[in-house]
Chain A
Amino acid sequence: MSNDVLVIGGGIAGIQAALDLAEMGIQVHMVERLPSIGGKMAQLDKTFPTNDCAI
């Protein structure tokens, strides 16, 4: 048995899942295909419905 969790993909969904798991004290491994995490959201200027900055 292992207590670790693997998260594949470091977009907003993967980052949120990893942060939640880490907060529960669980060891998380994240695999991302690109050199940086952030996914598509990092490419957005601002986001609806609040028009807050995406990064």
Chain B
Amino acid sequence: MEQVSGEVGAFQVAVRKKARYVNENLCTGCGACAEKCPTMVVDVFNAGLGNRKAIYKYFPQGIPSVFTIDAAACRQLGQGKKCGVCAKVCQAKAVDYDQKDTLIQLEVGAVVIATGYEVFDPSVIPEYGYDRIPNVVTALEFERLLSASGPTAGHLDRPSELALVKEMEEAEKEHKKLQRQVSQLEEKHGKPSSEIVAAFQSGTLPDDADLRNWALLAQDLASLEARLDSMNRRKATASVARKLAFIQCVGSRDFRFNPFCSSYCCMHSVKEAMIAHEHDNGVHSSIFCMDLRAVGRGFEEYKLRGGKQANIRYIRGRVAEITQDEALNPVVWYESTQNRQVVHETFDLVILATACVPSPGAAELARQFQVELDRNGFFKTDPLAPLNTSRPGVFVCGCAQGPMDIPESVAQASSAAARAAEIVAPARQAVG
């Protein structure tokens, strides 16, 4: 969105259509380009838990089914290097490195703002250790771990083990390289490396750069092998996450951050615990909450069903701190209000039910449209006209207006559509 002028019935809006560097009329969505692209990028869609290529589709079922180049990451477009691999392999000739952003001028009678929300960043709560403890994840990250199309194909592998696998892959690559170099030297000199290392360590190695280099390489190889051994032992004892803790109201109902209740997180924790249990009957979940808010059609029954059928334990109490033991298991410290005691308990994985906060572009959009935001930063509406912003002809629905679940977002969207239609319908009749 670049510029907005006009008024209800006739807004002029300038929109910047960002270059995809792929012609959307030609791209067939086959993915041959991404298969061959040499550049790996951290995948935002998978909440940073996986990787994707520089030429990518945001997610496999994404619409439109067209690839896009991430210009900043791409060797050719962003890094000033030579590449062009994707253009070469694309049979549809859709890749276009010269594509430019275009400005589109629209004239519209009404506007519906549906820019949604962002998840609260829990790293600002140091006592929960989100950026220090690998096995503390957000609920959105956990959704990706549960998903069959996610980075673990739906297995509850712990992030600490995912990191270990990645570290091992890199170490194995390095190991191959070192091994090759060392065996070449052994062949060249017709001696085993152990002799050279022994001489080097006892200080009797002749002063020769080539021999010295060989000794250093052989030492590196030995220490890398020791590291690989210990990583292999850790991997052998690793198991999937079975004992889960869900921490509610992370950044919500907390006057340091957001005073409001994010409304959907109690229910998504129950849901995630139920799905985890469906995947693996050995899963036990504890949900730590001040109170579990199940306000909605069928929600209370859903919560009770979870408790009975999915091994969910509801614990009343606010979690004070999360620490970590030597086996990288998170430890949850909390006050049990039932027993009036401060207790701690060890889990395999902790899931933070983070707050629903305004989308980062909301303030800029509000400025462009000259509409007001409420004190929490969501689009302000009138309690008796909940879809009207402060400006006639501009409506808002879904989480752009405040935290709400999908059924409520959909209901609001239909109402906002009806309100917008009321404005443009007379115009249509005048034309027709």
Q: Which residues of A contact B (CB under 8 A)?
A: 1-18, 20-21, 24-26, 29, 31, 33-49, 51, 55
Chain B residues in 8 Å Cβ range of A44? 143
Q: How many A-B residue pairs have CB under 8 A?
A: 188
On whether A7 and B143 interact (CB within 8 A), knowing A2-B10, A48-B270, the answer reads no
From A2, A33, A38, contact of B63 by CB (8 A): A38
Chain B residues in 8 Å Cβ range of A14? 112, 114-116, 398, 413
Measured CA separation A41–B385 after assembly (Å): 26
Measured CA separation A55–B147 after assembly (Å): 11
Give the residue name and chain of the A residue nearest to B418 (CB): A20
Give the residue name and chain of the A residue nearest to B407 (CB): A49
Measured CA separation A33–B106 after assembly (Å): 17
Q: Say yes or no: B58 contacts A5, CB within 8 Å.
A: no
From A4, A9, A16, A20, contact of B108 by CB (8 A): A4
Measured CA separation A9–B344 after assembly (Å): 43
Contact with A along B106-131 (1 / 0, CB 8 A): 11111111111100000000000000
A-B contact pairs, 7 of them (CB 8 A): A5-B112, A8-B1, A14-B398, A25-B428, A40-B116, A42-B61, A47-B406
Chain B residues in 8 Å Cβ range of A43? 45, 47, 59, 140, 143-144
On whether A31 and B299 interact (CB within 8 A), knowing A17-B417, A21-B421, the answer reads no
Give the residue name and chain of the A residue nearest to B404 (CB): A13
Q: Say yes or no: A12 contacts B410, CB within 8 Å.
A: yes
Measured CB to CB, the closest approach of chain B to A33, in angstroms, equals 7
Q: Which residues of B contact A (CB under 8 A)?
A: 1, 9-11, 13, 15, 20, 45, 47, 56-59, 61-64, 66, 68, 106-117, 140, 143-144, 146-148, 150, 267-268, 270-272, 274-275, 296-299, 302, 359, 361, 365, 397-400, 405-406, 409-410, 412-414, 416-418, 420-421, 424-425, 427-428, 430-431
Chain A residues in 8 Å Cβ range of B45? 42-43
Q: Say yes or no: B143 contacts A29, CB within 8 Å.
A: no
Measured CB to CB, the closest approach of chain B to A23, in angstroms, equals 9
Chain B residues in 8 Å Cβ range of A9? 113-116, 359, 398, 400
On whether A8 and B111 interact (CB within 8 A), knowing A20-B414, A38-B59, A47-B271, the answer reads yes
From A11, A20, A34, A51, contact of B398 by CB (8 A): A11
On whether A17 and B57 interact (CB within 8 A), knowing A1-B427, A8-B1, A31-B15, the answer reads no
Given contacts A13-B116, A48-B302, 7 further A-B contacts (CB under 8 A): A1-B427, A2-B9, A6-B112, A13-B114, A35-B68, A44-B143, A45-B146
From A7, A26, A31, A42, contact of B59 by CB (8 A): A42
Q: Is the interface of B mostly helix, strand, loop or mixed?
A: mixed
Give the residue name and chain of the B residue nearest to A41 (CB): B406
Measured CA separation A1–B427 after assembly (Å): 6
The 6 closest A-B pairs by CB, nearest first: A13-B398, A36-B62, A14-B114, A16-B413, A20-B417, A9-B114
Q: Say yes or no: A5 contacts B111, CB within 8 Å.
A: yes
Measured CB to CB, the closest approach of chain B to A17, in angstroms, equals 4
On whether A13 and B409 interact (CB within 8 A), knowing A20-B418, A45-B143, the answer reads yes
On whether A17 and B413 interact (CB within 8 A), knowing A26-B428, A29-B106, A35-B68, the answer reads yes
From B10, B150, B297, B361, contact of A1 by CB (8 A): B10
Measured CA separation A34–B44 after assembly (Å): 11
From A17, A34, A41, A45, contact of B112 by CB (8 A): A17
Chain B residues in 8 Å Cβ range of A55? 61
Chain A residues in 8 Å Cβ range of B47? 43
Q: Say yes or no: A40 contacts B427, CB within 8 Å.
A: no
Chain B residues in 8 Å Cβ range of A33? 361
Measured CA separation A42–B143 after assembly (Å): 10
